[in-house]
Amino acid sequence: MAKRKSTTSKPNAKLIELDPDRSDATGQFLTTNQGLKINDNQNSLKAGERGATLLEDFILREKITHFDHERIPERIVHARGSAAHGYFELYESLKEFTKAGFLQDPGKRTPVFVRFSTVAGSRGSTDLARDVRGFAVKFYTEEGVYDLVGNNIPVFFIQDAMKFPDLVHAVKPEPHNEIPQAASAHDTFWDFISLMPESMHMIMWAMSDRAIPRSLRMMEGFGVHTFRLINENDKSVFVKFHWKPLLGVHSVAWDEAQRISGKDCDFHRRDLWEAIENGAFPEWELGVQIIPEKDEHKFEFDLLDPTKIVPEELVPVRRIGKMTLNRNPDNFFAETEQVAFHPGHLVPGIDFTNDPLLQGRLFSYTDTQLSRLGSANFHEIPINRSVAPVHNNQRDGHMRQTINTGRVSYQPNSLGGGCPFQAKAAEGGFSSYAEKIDSKKIRARSRSFFDNFSQATLFFNSQSEPEKHHIIDALSFELGKVETIAIRERMVSLLTQVDKSLAGKVAANLGLAVPKNPDFQVNHSVPADGDPKKFQPLKTKMSLEKSDALSMANTIKNSIKTRKIAFLIADGVDQKSLAAMKTPLEASGATVQLIAPRLGVIKSREGKQIPVDQSFLTAASVLFDAVYVPGGEKSVQALLNEPAAVHFIREAYKHCKAIGCDSDGKKLLPGSAPGKQKSARITAPGHAGIITSGNAKEFIKAVANHRFWEREAERKIPA
Ligand code: HDE
């Protein structure tokens, strides 16, 4: 079987040569699927020029039949996704903890394929939905495929796989009218959540800006569950996996997210694709938190509970390697759509824990591939193939690709010389961690999972003031879309357990009172014959009040690489002023686009022709990270007379982005333009991130800061 080999930037010609499954039609005849050359792909076979089409037209029938079957069922969750190829390179050996081959030798490169996704929406839904993002990594290791199927949020809504279909039914569009698409802001979702206190920690994350990333390249990834590492001596430690983006963790504003959904619903997909095409390869470091087995019960939470993090202050994250994505897929369907991840794709040296959510996932992923990809042979699809040789006695099935030779398909056998044979541990054979089990068979939840609120509070307390406001706004928005008042009330009750001021502010926005004695007698996690009093959620006193790693305010802000900057220009623009900013921005890795009232060319003050990238008709401020107005009085005057240009800047202002101008351009800034908007005067905090000096260094610093949320206090700018 063909092997996936190269991981360098543009290896396609080489890959095609190596891989008979790749098809490149360059210089080739058009054929049927049977290899017959076609001489007319424009007309069907007819009984005369104006006659009926003949049933015998096997070429037409083959083409239409194939077309009719082009779609496969989309994923029930994570349907909308974008992916890329790359490699993982180890910095530091983890030999002490694991025998996994790809984690032994520093410098070792392992090819990867990574698929990012939203969860709730359909395949064609917007990228900017408020949602969790999937972050699934397939490592093609020499010991077999290893999948780390994680999310961009380190916890989950529920603790037990038994609740997953309920959660997904609740968040998906409502079944009677299929509304709303790719949104949690509706009654069924919040009905479920309001009765599911264990979701409160996840809700804090999902209502934070983490759920509206600026770019897939600027978000963290997490394995979520606690896993095990096992070394050569069969000694095990617990491990949590993290992906840390080298560009920092950044988000957009919620108002902006909604507008991007209209202007470019492929925003994240395009951003990932373009970055890779431009050679600005996205990079993440793989981090591990290692917990010795003896410390299993030392924490205030249960390591097996997927609604809990292990705060970085308690167990530091060790960065052990780097993943680089350097090649876009050649074909979306063949690769991104048909890739099949599974948390149960393991290599020796890594194993599961008893996290009851993870345990359920181990069943689900193969099962879902059977319905989605239609055959137990999904592992033979090129993107899913192991680079390690595959030999076993599994045979046949729909669309079998492998032609197994010989007469033996059973074991033990003598006719095949006993092959294929089992591998001992020393030969790389996988064996599960020999965990001791001595307990009753029981359908229950451990009391150590009952603390539903303290880490929700830890998360909220760790946020900066603007981030707290965004959570309050997001909850008010989502619950504002809920029509059933009782659901809103139940949510306010739950929020009182996270933070009283949070509950108070959300309640005020919803026109509700905060209940004095919130009642949790209705806890639907109680089994039918259980005593509800014994199942009430708890709140443990955490030793940690705050964790800096939880706030995006503390992320790296030292680079403008791949940031998109709009330059607004019109006839008469000062060419020198334009170049004085454009050149240093591009030298720092940003992309500059020239936006003008019309396409074609603009005549500069110096009389030179400057090609325009986009007009105000197709460009929008929400698709850029910052905006700059170069000098040239005539150009600035023309822009002042262009409502779309004025709106462009106001919108960038409203979304707290860096805005820069040369001295002439000042007139266009909010507060000065167009002179009539008295209410649009901006005051002290509102000036943050507005650079009127034309100084490139200052502007670059402002762009690197990403957003000036303090400006939100200034809500007077209409946009
Ligand atoms: Fe998944 N999940 N999941 N999930 N999940 C799927 O598998 C499931 C969970 C995650 O890009 C499905 O191939 C159950 C947690 C990602 O192709 C399905 C439970 C986490 C992706 C499935 C969970 C994830 C999926 C749908 C609870 C973060 C997209 C299509 C017991 C750690 C992978 C598919 C891709 C996809 C089941 C919970 C991450 C139905 C039953 C927790 C990133 O098998």
pLDDT of residue 9: 44
For the chain, percent of residues with pLDDT exceeding 90 = 87
Residue 655 annotated to the active site: no
Q: Pick the residue with more confidence: 10 or 85? A: 85
Q: Give the DSSP letter of residue 674.
A: S
pLDDT band at 13 (very low <50, low <70, confident <90, very high): low
| Substitution site in 365, 369, 373, 381 for ligand 1 pocket (most atoms within 8 Å of beta carbon) | 365
Q: Which long-range contacts (CB under 8 A, 24 or more apart) does 639-644 make?
A: 639/568, 639/569, 639/570, 639/597, 639/668, 640/667, 640/668, 640/673, 640/674, 642/570, 642/597, 642/616, 644/597, 644/616, 644/617
Residue 173 pLDDT greater than 60, yes or no: yes
- Please classify residue 638 by burial: count the beta carbons closer than 10 Å to its beta carbon, then call 0-12 exposed, 13-18 middle and 19+ buried: buried
From the DSSP assignment, how many helices (H) and strands (E) are in the chain? 16, 18
Average confidence (pLDDT) over 214-227: 98
pLDDT of residue 677: 44
pLDDT of residue 538: 82
pLDDT band at 17 (very low <50, low <70, confident <90, very high): low
Which residue has the least CA distance to atom 43 on ligand 1?
Answer: 134
pLDDT of residue 10: 47
Closest ligand 1 atom number to CA of residue 222: 32
pLDDT of residue 534: 80
Compute the C-alpha angle 243/245/246, nearest 5°. 135
pLDDT of residue 166: 97
d(CA 677, CA 688): 20
Average pLDDT value over all residues in the chain: 93
Determine the distance from the C-alpha atom of residue 365 to the mean position of all C-alpha atoms in its chain, rounded to a whole number.
19
Q: At what angle do helices 356-373 and 164-171 cross, to 10 degrees?
A: 60
Give me the catalytic one of 12, 66, 85, 151: 151
Task: Give the SS3 label for residue 274.
Answer: helix
Average confidence (pLDDT) over 573-591: 97
Average confidence (pLDDT) over 646-667: 93
Tens digit of pLDDT for each residue in 388-446? Answer: 999 999 999 999 999 999 999 999 999 999 999 999 999 999 999 999 999 999 999 99
Residue 672 pLDDT greater than 80, yes or no: no
Residue 151 annotated to the active site: yes
pLDDT of residue 388: 97
d(CA 352, CA 483): 41
Average confidence (pLDDT) over 359-367: 95
215 lines ligand 1 (CB under 6 A): no
Span from the CA of 197 to the centroid of ligand 1 (angstroms): 22
Average confidence (pLDDT) over 342-357: 97
Contact 708, 689 (CB under 8 A): yes
Average confidence (pLDDT) over 132-155: 98
Residue 508 pLDDT greater than 90, yes or no: yes
Contact 525, 227 (CB under 8 A): no
**Weakest-pLDDT range from 19-28, 211-220, 456-465, 686-695:** 19-28
Residue 116 pLDDT greater than 70, yes or no: yes
Residue 630 pLDDT greater than 90, yes or no: yes
81 lines ligand 1 (CB under 6 A): yes
Contact 660, 702 (CB under 8 A): yes
Residue 587 pLDDT greater than 90, yes or no: yes
